Structures are given as structure tokens and as C-alpha cells.
Amino acid sequence: MIKFFRKIRQKLLAENKFSKYLFYAVGEIVLVVIGILIALQINNRNEARKDRNYETKMLTEISSSLKNDVVYFKEMIKTFDDLYDTSDYFMELSKKNEMYHDSLFGKVFDLNNDILYQFNSGPYEALKSTGIDKISNDTLRNQITNLFDFDLPILGNNIEHITRNHQKNIESMLELFGDRHIDDSRGRNFVGWVDVPEDLFQSQGFLQLLAGVSWRARNAGQQLKLALPGIEQTIENIDKEIKK
């Protein structure tokens, strides 16, 4: 193609047709410029498609991790609700001056629940390392950034602050039940207590510890319940962006 254009130029110059040569040269330049612009446009479209595919992939991973976090947070809320309900149950026993009996053995252990706040920030951190600006929607980008850099860490700090003495509180409460009875015939399984004070539920020490469990469960659960709508709204917005 280049040889073809060169021969035409040489022929026009040889015939002293300078005006036609000039017109032809300008036309050739215009064609070259148009070709370059088309090539750039195609390249830009390819790059934009690659960026969009990567953005969609990362948003999908972030949405998936947040959905798993929501499931875990709901399980935590149930744990806190169960702790609160169990505490309330023993409070009612105290008000009724009920005595301890072995049938309450299982109910006591409902108080012994571990509390571990965590969330998966892996996909978000992976996106940050390559450039958070890969998220083209400014509003969504700010929403995701605020959620992972501020809201979720602050939520974790609040829950940790509220529940920091929970396990110590539970251990102190269990000590009030006296010595534990171990059944060696079944592999040293814990099967109950011995010498439990019958009036344990009227004990001031027990009631104070129980009040601590109740307060922590109620407030930590409330923190999660307040946070869930914002997290779920972010997931909804991410999924809308993915479907565009």
C-alpha cells in the first residue's frame, strides 16, 4: 500500500502536476490521521472493556464477601439474642426465688458462647492495591471505601469494647457453680457440677455477673443490628452496578 502511494506521488511530480500532488499529499495525510484515530478508538475500547471486566470481577468478589459477612453477622446477632434471653431467664428465676436444680445444667451452658467479630476485607484490599479508582461509579466507590475503611473497623472496635470482659465474666459466673464433675468413663467429659449452692440464683455476685452478660449481649447485638441495613444497601448498589 505504501509503495502504491509512493508511485502516485512520483508520477505526479514527474508530470509537474504540483497542485494535484499537493492535494493528493494532503488527502494522504488525512487518511493516515483517520487511520490513527480509528486505531486509537479501537484500542481505547479494548482497554475500556478490559477495565470494565476487571471492575466487574472485583465488585463481584466484594459483593460475595459482604454477603458471607452478613450471614456471619446474623449468626452473631442470634448468639447475642440467645445470651440476652438466657440471662433474662435466670433473672426471672431469681425474681421467683427459684432454687438451682440439675435440670438447669444445659441452660447454664447457653451462657458460655464465644464472641468473635470478623469480616473479610481481602477482595477490597486487592482492589485497593491495584487502584480503587477502578470503580468507575464515584458514589459507589466512596460507599465501599467508607464501609471497609471506617464503618466495619469502627463496628469491630465498638463490639470489642463492649464485650472485652465477656469471657472473664462467664468464667467467674461458672466458678460460682462450684466444682465440675468429670465422667472418666466417657473420656473425661464434663457432665455437671457438685456442691452447687441451692440459693445461687439469689446470690448478689451471680446477679451482678448475669447483669454484665445481659448488658453486653444487648448492646453488642444492637450495634450489629444497626449496621446491617447499611451493609445490605452497599451490596444492593454493588449488584446493580455489576448488572449495568
- Domain locations in the chain? 2-243
Model confidence, pTM: 0.75
Q: Residue type at 203? A: S
Specify the pLDDT at position 188.
42
SS3 192: strand
Specify the pLDDT at position 141.
95
Q: Give the whole-angstrom CA distance, residue 158 versus residue 139.
A: 26
User: What b-and-e string marks burial along 152-167, b requiring 16 or more CB atoms within 10 Å of the CB?
Assistant: beebeebbeebbeebe
pLDDT tens for each residue of 21-39: 455 556 566 666 777 777 6
- Which residue is associated with the grid cell 458471607? 68
pLDDT tens for each residue of 64-78: 999 999 999 999 999
Specify the pLDDT at position 180.
52
Judge contact between 128 and 200, C-beta under 8 A. no
- The sign one gets for the Cα dihedral 133, 135, 141, 146 is negative
State the pLDDT confidence band at 182, using cuts at 50, 70 and 90: very low
Residue, of 191 and 103, whose pLDDT is higher: 103
Specify the pLDDT at position 189.
47
Specify the pLDDT at position 31.
64
Helix (H) or strand (E) holding 205: helix 204-243
